[in-house]
Amino acid sequence: NAGVMQNPRHLVRRRGQEARLRCSPVKGHSHVYWYRQLPEEGLKFMVYLQKENIIDESGMPKERFSAEFPKEGPSILRIQQVVRGDSAAYFCASSLRQGEGTEAFFGQGTRLTVV
């Protein structure tokens, strides 16, 4: 009964490299959310996807960040040309449906360090 699986758990990248973060939602869940947690901060919403569609990307930086959730395979959060300020914990969550009070299940997060 696997929950949300994120990998890698820890990722180190040099400035200017690309970071790819993967998220496999709970089996049967078609709604995926990405959040970013900066040091000493709460989680901030980045993007909401359903299979093959981006529903709400109002929390995504306009440049260098992209997300996808293909028909087959995990959701991917991609950060191009990383900078020190991208260092954070990135959490993925999934839900079975959309609606009032729906529970979101979270993964353990990927901790990105940019050196």
**Contact between 50 and other proteins (CB under 8 A)?**
no
> How many C-beta atoms lie closer than 10 Å to residue 84's C-beta?
9
Which one of residues 17, 51, 53, 55 is an interface residue with other proteins (CB under 8 A)? 55
Which one of residues 19, 21, 26, 43 is an interface residue with other proteins (CB under 8 A)? 43
Q: Which is nearer to other proteins, 28 or 101 (CB)?
A: 101
Residues in the chain: 115
**Contact between 99 and other proteins (CB under 8 A)?**
yes
**Contact between 104 and other proteins (CB under 8 A)?**
yes
**Contact between 60 and other proteins (CB under 8 A)?**
no
Give the Cα separation of 53 and 40 in Å (integer). 32
**Per-residue burial over 14-43, b = 16 or more CB atoms within 10 Å of its CB, e = otherwise:** eeeeebebbbbbbeebbbbbbbbeeeeeeb
| Six-digit token string for 67 | 């997300």
Q: Which residues bind other proteins (CB under 8 A)?
A: 3-4, 6, 31, 33, 35, 40-45, 48, 55-56, 91, 93, 95, 98-109
